[in-house]
Amino acid sequence: MALKIALAGNPNCGKTTLFNDLTGSTQYVGNWPGVTVEKKEGRLIGHRDVIIQDLPGIYSLSPYTLEEVVSRNYLVNEKPDVILNIVDGTNIERNLYLTTQLVEIGIPVVIAFNMMDLVRKSGDQIDTKKLGKELGCETIEISALHSDNTKKAAELAIEQATKKKGELPHVFTGSVEHAIAHIEESIETLVPAEQLRWYAVKLFERDSKATEQLKLSADTKAHIEQHIADCEKEMDDDAESIITNQRYTCIQKLVADTVSKKHTSEQMTTSDKIDRIVTNRILALPIFAVIMWAVYFISVTTLGSWLTDWTNDVLFGTWITNGATAGLTALGASDAVISLLVDGIIGGVGTVLGFVPQMILLFLCLSILEDSGYMARVAFIMDRIFRRFGLSGKSFIPMLVGTGCGVPAIMASRTIENEKDRRMTILLSTFLPCGAKMEIVAMMTMVCFPGSMFVAPAMYFLGLGIVVFSGIALKKTKYFSGDPAPFVMELPAYHIPTVKGVLIHVWERAKAFMIKAGTIIFTMCIVIWFLMHFGPTGFLPDDIDASFLRYIGEGLSWIFKPLGFGTWQGAVASVSAEVAKEQATATLGMLAHAASDDETDVAAAINTMFGGSKLIGMSFLLFNIFDAPCMVAIATAFREQASRKWGWITFGYQMMVGYCLSLCVYQIGAWVSGSFTFGTVVAIALILAACYFVFRPNPYAKKRTEYRREAERA
Ligand code: GDP
Ligand code: MG
């Protein structure tokens, strides 16, 4: 039997960093709370029989949030052999609150004081030995980020796994201990001896999950309730608060005895100084706007596009295309095979891969921002905006994750306890363009707006705008109305990102991107090549106009007529993009290769498909960026909404936004250049309707204040 070590600790204390260090895996390390929502398993390097379990970060073992439930069920029901409790050394007081609960579960606990590099730098002193003694567990000082002492921590955990547990710390006062002792007595026969304390404390707190689990008889229940009530009367407080307060009091005393801070809390740290500017009420948003603009400007417009031009025109456009054609001809391959490989695979997959340099740069910039701690501030800044219309900043974290990929973004919505807010976050979390959508942005910028400084950043801010205005409008509907949940976010100290950390991040994302190109996109390109080169009359080497693809496109093009790109090419590209967003670029790339003999000027060929019109190009871009995400993300949304109805609402809302936005931009644009049609009327009506839903007075606001008044009276 393998030995199991569970990593438990507060959010953002470095669990995943340690997990990656110990197991050699490359799980997502985010410098903000709420990244690991599922538990992850790995094997300790050098010890194949030791399994390490990364758990979601939690502040306590009360079952209020999904992370707490996941971690607690694992610890209590699956009983790992030992808990390696990671404590953020820069924030001991808050972290130990969880520790006092972990030691009650009945599993040996080893405390790893992490971030010791920061603690040492600040000059603070922690007597970890003494702390361990008081808490009844072994301790070790580590720095997960610098792999300092991490192996030893794992070895210490292995060694402790088989040892008997140390003495429990004296957390509670006499009368509480008295009640707990009585509860222990009455459930002695129901639970294993080592879990007795845990269950007794939980029953004392009237924890519903523990009560259910033990299936107590009515008699026992009444007996226990009597002891709790007596204690509550004596302490003049409710049981749950008694336990919480006493844990904090105990920790305060412990910390006073063992930690000496060099700086008093009145002195400002460097992070505080930076935050004074970066999260300043007036400056925060302009700073954020400039930073994000710079990110997209560098990665998509300037540096990135020079690299991409080279990969597209020289590498794929000339070298590989010519090389492959020459090679295949020399081998005596038939025209069909050459066409499949050159127009199909190189034209399709090659176009997608051609944008990889831009994606890598984008991921690099975002990783640096995230790892330095800035993105956590963004969530904090957005909280101030979101809060105004009733959503908490917690909802913004999934959206930040979504700039990489929509699937983990939707998963990250799990951390939101309130069901309404969670549903709304799933619905909105894919509006900030993901990496694959940025590929379409990069291509359309190249095709219609070469060198533009604003198109790429504009898509990001437009996504943000859609989120904010959708949030405002949705919060005024009956279902979503309600006050925002409180959002407490620990702002991690700024640090210079490590090269290793950032590179792992970028590599993981770029790898996923390339794997997708080699699998889904590859398959799709073959399918599209066949549809493009076969028709009712059989194989068509050179006549796309008689192909199945064209018939399919024509059949669908009416849908996109009001958006301006109602050609069969536009329809085929948009529909194929639902498989994976970057397929839009692959499909357009293939069509361009087939349409033009000059392989180096794909951009011009695509531009012709959109009638050389910037307006139509923009409309195509807007629709494909802001409609529903790819099918994998849609499926994830259905699963996470856990309701077919809500899955369809999510999908329908996203499609509606993409379609209407694109329609309005195209029709108003056409109107400006002198063409007033029925479409213009529809666009104006849509804009007025959107304004109405966003700016109307909240019909449920009055009720809410009434509730509040009632609550105050009570
Ligand atoms: P988790 O939420 O507990 O899984 O925490 P993560 O592993 O995602 O780490 C949160 C942040 O803390 C990341 O930015 C890490 O780079 C950083 N971090 C983790 N361990 C250390 C450490 O020992 N020293 C320093 N300075 N930073 C660390
Ligand atoms: Mg984590």
Q: Would you put residue 702 in left (φ > 0), alpha (ψ -120 to 50) or beta?
A: alpha
Q: What is the distance between the alpha carbons of residues 152 and 142, in angstroms, rounded to a whole number? A: 9
CA–centroid distance, residue 119 to ligand 1 (Å): 13
- pLDDT, residue 58, reads 86
Task: From 13, 16, 17, 25, give the residue whose CB has the most ligand 1 atoms within 8 Å, as the site to mutate.
Answer: 17
> Which residue positions in the chain have pLDDT lower than 50?
none
Residue 700 identity = Y
pLDDT of residue 38: 64
Cα–Cα dist 592/446, whole Å:
14
Instruction: Return the bridge partners of 114, or none.
Output: 88
Q: Which atom of ligand 1 is nearest to the CA of 146?
A: 23
Q: Identify which ligand lies nearest to the alpha carbon of 114.
A: 1
With contact defined as beta carbons under 8 Å apart, do 44 and 157 qualify? no
Ligand at shortest distance from the CA of 17: 1
CATH no. for 3-161: 3.40.50.300
Residue 504 Cα to ligand 2 midpoint, Å, equals 15
User: Which pLDDT does position 213 carry in this prediction?
Assistant: 86
Counting atoms of ligand 1 from 1, which one is nearest the CA of 18? 7
Q: How far is the CA of 649 from the centre of ligand 1 (A)?
A: 37
Bridge partners (DSSP) of residue 29 are none
Give the atom of ligand 1 at the shortest distance from the alpha carbon of 371.
14
Nearest-atom number in ligand 1 for the CA of 497 is: 16
How much is the pTM?
0.75
User: How do beta strands 40-43 and 50-54 pair?
Assistant: antiparallel
**Assigned architecture for domain 174-260:** Orthogonal Bundle (1.10)
CA 162 to ligand 1 centroid distance, Å = 29
Give pLDDT tens digits for 286-323: 999 999 999 998 888 777 777 777 777 777 777 877 88
Distance of alpha carbon 692 from the chain centroid: 32
Can you list the alpha helix ranges (DSSP code H) found in 42-91? 66-73
The structural domains of the chain, with segments of one domain joined by +, span: 3-161, 174-260, 285-695
User: 492 alpha carbon to ligand 2 midpoint, in Å?
Assistant: 14
- Atom in ligand 1 nearest the alpha carbon of residue 9: 3
Question: Which ligand is located closest to the Cα atom of residue 144?
Answer: 1
pLDDT digits (tens, 9 = 90+) for 249-290: 999 999 998 988 876 655 677 888 888 888 888 899 999 999
Tell me, what's the pLDDT at 601? 76
Could you tell which of 7, 12, 124 is best to mutate to test the pocket of ligand 1, judged by most ligand atoms within 8 Å of the CB? 12
pLDDT given for residue 703 in this prediction: 61
For the CA of 29, the nearest atom of ligand 1: 8
**Residue 293 near residue 457, CB atoms below 8 Å:** yes
According to the model, what pLDDT value does residue 28 have? 63
Residues with CB under 6 A from ligand 1: 9, 11-17, 29-31, 35-36, 57, 114-115, 117-118, 143-145, 371, 492, 495, 501
Distance between Cα 76 and ligand 1 center (Å): 26
- pLDDT value of residue 599: 56
Q: How far is the CA of 12 from the centre of ligand 2 (A)?
A: 7
Q: Give the distance (Å) from ligand 1 centre to CA of residue 12.
A: 6
pLDDT score for 358: 87
For 448-451, which contacts have Cβ atoms below 8 Å and span 24 or more sequence positions?
A: 448/607, 448/610, 448/614, 448/617, 448/618, 448/621, 449/614, 449/617, 450/603, 451/301, 451/305
For residue 96, give both structure tokens: 């130990």
Contact 556, 575 (CB under 8 A): yes
Ligand nearest to the CA of 32: 1
Q: How far is it, in rounded angstroms, from Cα 369 to Cα 375?
A: 6
The CA 510 to ligand 2 mean position distance, Å, reads: 21
